[in-house]
Amino acid sequence: MKIITKEEFMKKTVSAGVSAEAFGGTETLPDMSNYGGVKFNCGCGSKHKIKETRATTYIPKKHYIILCPDLTCMNYVKFNFFSTETIFASDKC
């Protein structure tokens, strides 16, 4: 996992197809219930369960932006069948 600045994070995710509105919460969030028990590596150094997270934004090809439950950072996470891979995270939220 790579830690990048928030500005860089926004740039990268917008170029990956996330609209600015998605960050404002106007986009429908995906149903994450299938991933309830799955954890992801967070930029804060912990592992969190997906169901403990507050917000997610779906990007095509099973990539999600997931906020740290402690609101420390944002994570860009790729979902496989029963596992996750955090590609990069922001240094702040």
What residues line the site for Zn ion (CB under 5 A)? 42, 44, 46, 68
Whichever of 22 and 66 has its CB closer to Zn ion, that residue is 66
Q: Which residue has the tokens 């090809």?
A: 61
For residues 60 and 69, the answer to whether their CB atoms sit within 8 Å is: no
Pick the closest to residue 32 from 72, 74, 75, 79 (CA basis): 79
Whichever of 3 and 14 has its CB closer to Zn ion, that residue is 3
Least distance from Zn ion to the Cβ atom of residue 19, Å: 24
Least distance from Zn ion to the Cβ atom of residue 45, Å: 7
State the amino acid at position 43 in one-letter form.
G
